[in-house]
C-alpha cells in the first residue's frame, strides 16, 4: 500500500505564532487559561470562524512562572484571535488580561525574540574560529 503524498510547502496553509503574557494578581494555570481562550474565541468569533482560525495553544511553550506562552493560528486570522484575546478579563476566578508581545512566522523566532531563549547552535563554530 502506498503512502499518500505530502502537500508541498507552497500549497500548505500558513500559520502565525502569537506570543502573549498574562497579567494577573495571582499565577494562572494552563487549564484555566486554555478554557478562557476557547470561550473568548467562541463568543467573539463563533464556531465557524473559530474552527477556520485553527487556534492552538502550544502547551510546551507556556511558562507558568513567567506567565508567557505561544498561540498558533492561521495567517489570515491573527487579528481576529488577537481581538478575542483582548476581550478576556477573567481567567478562572481571577482578574486578568492578556498582553500580546508580538506575532512571528516561526516558533524559533518567537522563542528568540520574545521568550528569551538563546540559540547556542553557532557557539561551537565561533569558538573554533576564534582559536
pLDDT of 12 reads 87
Distance separating alpha carbons of residues 16 and 114, to the nearest angstrom: 14
pLDDT of 23 reads 96
pLDDT of 103 reads 96
Q: What is the pTM of this model?
A: 0.83
Distance separating alpha carbons of residues 14 and 75, to the nearest angstrom: 6
pLDDT of 69 reads 95
Query: pLDDT by residue (tens digit) across 98-122?
Result: 999 999 999 999 999 998 877 666 5
pLDDT of 124 reads 57
pLDDT less than 50: residues of the chain: 126
**R_g (Cα) of the chain, nearest Å:** 18
pLDDT of 125 reads 53
Pull the grid cell for residue 29: 494555570
What DSSP string describes 2-16?
PPPPPPPTTTSPPEE
CATH of domain 15-113: 3.30.70.3250
Query: DSSP label at 106?
Result: S
Amino acid at each position: 500500500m502506498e503512502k499518500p503524498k505530502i502537500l508541498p510547502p507552497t500549497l500548505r496553509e500558513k500559520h502565525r505564532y502569537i506570543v502573549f503574557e498574562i497579567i494577573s494578581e495571582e499565577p494562572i494555570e494552563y487549564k484555566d487559561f486554555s478554557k478562557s481562550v476557547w470561550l473568548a474565541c467562541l463568543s467573539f468569533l463563533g464556531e465557524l470562524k473559530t474552527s477556520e482560525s485553527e487556534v492552538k495553544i502550544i502547551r510546551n511553550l507556556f511558562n507558568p512562572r513567567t506567565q508567557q506562552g505561544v498561540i498558533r493560528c492561521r495567517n489570515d486570522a491573527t487579528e481576529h484571535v488577537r481581538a478575542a484575546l483582548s476581550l478576556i478579563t477573567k481567567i478562572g476566578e481571577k482578574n486578568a488580561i492578556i498582553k500580546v508581545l508580538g506575532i512571528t512566522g516561526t516558533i524559533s523566532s518567537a522563542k528568540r525574540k520574545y521568550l528569551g531563549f538563546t540559540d547556542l547552535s553557532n557557539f561551537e563554530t565561533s569558538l573554533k574560529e576564534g582559536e
